[in-house]
Copies of this chain bind each other. A is one copy, B any other.
Amino acid sequence: MTTHESAGIARWRQIADSLRADIAEGRLVDALPSEMRLAERFAVNRHTVRRAIAALGEEGLLTAARGRGTFVAPRPGRIAYPVGPRSRFSENIGAASREPGGSMVGATREPASTEIAGLLGCGIAAPLARLDLLRVADGAPVIVSTLWFEEARVPGIVAAFAELGSISRALEALGLAGCRRLWTRVSAIAAEARDAERLHCPLATPLIQTTSLTAAATGEPVQYARSRFLGSRFELLFDHTAGPAAD
């Protein structure tokens, strides 16, 4: 089986991806090697390197100066995002000293799928409130998340969120204080067209996908969530030493 793994991806794109990874990991700082050197390193024509650099320039990662060289823009750094029973977006981003933000990009009703019905413990095709949120840090979108609630259990959740601007506060307002996250599942996926558009990132950008189940203080499941984080901007932190009883 002679499959070329790189099939279908233009050479300049591969070079841009490689340089972008080097920049994200901090392996490449300050001045970039000259176009000729890079062309030699990647065994490619100078024009091909130039195209890769142009793409990264449009992303704001590089700036070129005629006669001087090309330079790496100061990188934003990864946002440390602790995940635990009490995780809330606003706290996490706040702790990282970045302005939190978020906007509702969609609020619909849909019947429960077999999977979600099983997780939330409601009937199949029971009416769910679905909330689509876009979360922003430093003025750029970084997370898209979709939340599902059984409508009968939390009536008016959408209106409450719209008013209070926070899921946890909206739940408290509905008499559900002290909600706890039961578990989190993590996988990695490639950004599809819709995600890429919303997150303002190139197609096929690696995203961290998490799904999680949150329960009320009574233990009753309340919220099922599916989030996608910009892989290059985040690092999820799981602390295995802090137990559920400890805070």
Residues of A at under 8 Å CB distance from B?
1, 3, 5-10, 12-14, 16-18, 21, 55, 58-59, 78, 83-85, 180-190, 192-193, 196-197, 201-208, 229, 231-232, 234-246
Contact = CB atoms under 8 A, between A and B. Distances in A.
Contacts of A206: 188-190, 204, 206-207, 231
Contacts of A242: 243-244
**Which of A9, A85, A203 has the most chain B CB atoms closer than 10 A to its own CB?**
A203
B204 A241 contact: no
Nearest to A80: B185
A202 B5 contact: yes
B187 A208 contact: yes
A203 B9 CA distance: 8
Could you say which of A59, A192, A207, A238 has the most chain B C-beta atoms within 10 Å of its C-beta? Answer: A238
A163 B130 CA distance: 53
Given A5-B196, A208-B188, A240 B17 contact: no
B204 A9 contact: yes
23 contacts: A1-B58, A5-B201, A5-B202, A14-B204, A17-B203, A18-B192, A18-B193, A21-B189, A21-B190, A180-B240, A181-B240, A182-B240, A183-B237, A183-B238, A183-B241, A184-B240, A185-B236, A186-B186, A189-B206, A204-B206, A206-B231, A243-B244, A245-B246
B8 A187 contact: no
A242 B55 CA distance: 46
B241 A203 contact: no
A190 B206 CA distance: 6
A5 B199 CA distance: 11
A201 B4 CA distance: 10
A139 to B, nearest CB: 14
A241 B192 contact: no
A186, A190, A208, A237, most chain B CB atoms within 10 A: A186
Nearest to A59: B3
